[in-house]
Chains A and B, each alone.
Chain A
Amino acid sequence: MIRYIFGRLGIAAPTLLAVVTLSFFLLRAAPGGPFDSTRALPPEIEANLNALYGLDRPLTEQFTSYVGGVLRGDFGPSYRYRDVQVSDIVADALPVSLAIGGLGLSVTLILGIGVGAASALARGPALATALSVAISVGIAVPSFVSAPILALIFGVMLDILPVAGWGGGRAEHLILPMIVLGVPNAAFVARLMRASMLEQMTSESILAARARGASPRRIILRHILQPALIPVVSYLGPASASILTGSVVIEQLFALPGAGQAFIDASLNRDYTLVLGLVIVFATLVILLNLLTDILAGALNPRLRAGQ
């Protein structure tokens, strides 16, 4: 197990370094400097600005000092907002995204595992068909479609939930974003769960358990549900990535002051240091979550550890 964990770490660490390096040099290669404006700056002032932000030093030196800063949690100053550190913006925006993302992930898991299990165990073609249609629709309706429709129904027609805004993180402001973010992923989890339960149901271990006289309840819980959860656990990493990506859209649609919103604003403002800082934060989060998922999956499934 320890060897397996180190093996996974050996993939995660270089990946993270590659992302940081690639994004850094990509942004430095971008046409136009951060201080380009409609008015041309006098050369002395531009030289002073470049010196202030360290842009006059050689590129490799800039890179090593940037990576050193990142390791200490310092992403440098924002290019667009004067006297504001990128770390401060990230510290303000990230909790909003993490709150919505965490809630969305809970909806994904609870709804996905519940509906998937119900659909695999459903008796009678009517219920099974209804659930499988619901899963197909859930997968095919993207969040940027369901968000305005739900806002119209619950916010305007029924007038029971706020249409947009953060409202200091009050519960009623979180309900719609949480549902919109969670449901498409829940449909994926449900499909995965159903397929993997159906596979377990035809396996010989069920026959053996039945022959031993195990109760139907025990067969479902111990021999079908438990092993069927392994692929769902492996999907947690990709699911968290998809939820983080989705939160970019959700924050736009519901006007939430999260990291996704900050990322889009920074992209449109060409605030390079802020974009770079946010990409690194997002990538670190996703890579860490993938690492955790891999370790969890390895702990549950010895065959994964034994070799590829």
Chain B
Amino acid sequence: MNQKPESAIRRTRPAAWTRFARRRGAMAGAIMLLILAAAAFLTPLISPFSYDEVLWDRIGKSPDIASGHIMGTDFVGRDVFVRTMLGLAVSLVVGLSAASVSVLIGAAYGAIAGYTGGATEQIMMRVVDGLFAIPFMFVVILVMVVFGRNFFLLFVAIAAIQWLTMARITCAQTRILRQRGFIIAAELAGLHPALVILRHIAPNLGGLIVVYLTLTIPEIILIESFLSFLGMGVQEPLTSLGVLISDGAKEIYTAPWLLAAPVVTLTTCLISLNLIGDGLRSALDPKDASP
């Protein structure tokens, strides 16, 4: 690839962070996510109620400020706000950890395929093509049926689905990097291929990895909620947003606040993550012309 246009871009375009901060949608997303995350992780420390404490005098009460149950209580007499925040915390932790694992697997696979090239790359990427065509949700449910509802297994299964897109993108990017001067120089100096990937390719994939990490987290939160909704994810008394939505949907006619609390939380969380991901993508994309 030609070096010249890139250096020209560097001079005229502000740094990625400034470009990100100028995007109102992305900044709004970042602020919303910070508030949500703070609420999710601080509520258990601050709130007078706990997520599994049964209050016998408050079974299925609607929200009221005076009693402190700002989102009401469920039919087991537990505080809905505290449970929703716990669900959000579980979703965020699962989302972040599974997304990190899958993005790293995808990036490593793609970088090795793209850097090696030739027949190896062809075979590795055709395997990805094949895996793409498998409806993985059914395989995940199959695995859950066979090995029981195991939280760790759920986590592994989700990570195993999500690495494919990352592998494709990294492979394409590495193929471009492979022809650049500094890579050829490193090769001529006799650097081991593994070190070329680690020291010279990986740092140049950083932006891409960050962007796809933020875009993968909401997808994983959705998958986890989907499986929990079907009763195959997190088990009681621990909870996740999918479990809360599934429970709330059953009581929609009698106790709509049970559905409203997790739905608003999940939707806000997903929207803010998507806004951040889109903002990062256009801030780091050299082709994007907007300042």
Chain A residues proximal to chain B, CB less than 8 Å: 11-12, 14-15, 18-19, 22-23, 26-27, 29-31, 136-137, 139-142, 144-145, 147-149, 151-152, 156, 202, 237-238, 241, 244-245, 248-249, 252-253, 263-264, 267, 270, 275, 278-279, 282-283, 286-287, 290-291, 308
Whether B275 contacts A142 by the Cβ 8 Å rule is no
Main secondary structure, interface of B, reads helix
Whether B135 contacts A282 by the Cβ 8 Å rule is yes
- For A144, the chain B residues whose CB sits under 8 A away are 225-226, 229, 242, 245-246, 249
Rounded to whole angstroms, the CA-CA distance of A213 and B130 in the bound complex is 46
Number of A-B contacts (CB under 8 A): 116
CB < 8 Å: which of A12, A237, A252, A275 contacts B142?
Answer: A275
**With A144-B246, A145-B245, A156-B253 as given contacts, are A15 and B225 in contact (CB-CB < 8 Å)?**
no
- For A142, the chain B residues whose CB sits under 8 A away are 222, 225-226, 266
Rounded to whole angstroms, the CA-CA distance of A15 and B126 in the bound complex is 10
Whether A267 contacts B249 by the Cβ 8 Å rule is no
- For A19, the chain B residues whose CB sits under 8 A away are 134, 139
Which residues of B from 234 to 266 have beta carbons under 8 Å from A?
A: 242, 245-246, 248-249, 252-253, 256, 259, 263, 266
Other contacts beyond A144-B229, A249-B226, A252-B230: 9, CB < 8 A: A11-B126, A27-B142, A137-B271, A140-B270, A140-B274, A145-B245, A253-B249, A283-B135, A286-B135
* Nearest opposing residue in chain B for A264, CB measure: B230
Chain B residues proximal to chain A, CB less than 8 Å: 122, 125-126, 129-135, 137-139, 141-147, 218, 222, 225-226, 229-230, 242, 245-246, 248-249, 252-253, 256, 259, 263, 266-267, 270-271, 274-275, 289
Whether A283 contacts B134 by the Cβ 8 Å rule is yes
B112 to chain A, nearest CB (A): 16
Whether A263 contacts B249 by the Cβ 8 Å rule is no
Rounded to whole angstroms, the CA-CA distance of A131 and B263 in the bound complex is 22
CB < 8 Å: which of A15, A244, A278 contacts B130?
Answer: A15
**With A136-B274, A144-B246 as given contacts, are A287 and B133 in contact (CB-CB < 8 Å)?**
yes
Rounded to whole angstroms, the CA-CA distance of A14 and B252 in the bound complex is 46
**With A145-B245, A249-B230 as given contacts, are A287 and B141 in contact (CB-CB < 8 Å)?**
no
23 contacts between A and B (CB under 8 A): A11-B130, A15-B133, A15-B134, A26-B146, A30-B145, A145-B266, A148-B248, A148-B259, A149-B252, A151-B252, A152-B253, A237-B132, A241-B133, A249-B229, A263-B138, A264-B230, A270-B145, A278-B138, A279-B138, A283-B134, A286-B135, A290-B133, A308-B125
* Nearest opposing residue in chain B for A12, CB measure: B133
* Nearest opposing residue in chain B for A29, CB measure: B146
- For B249, the chain A residues whose CB sits under 8 A away are 144, 147-148, 253
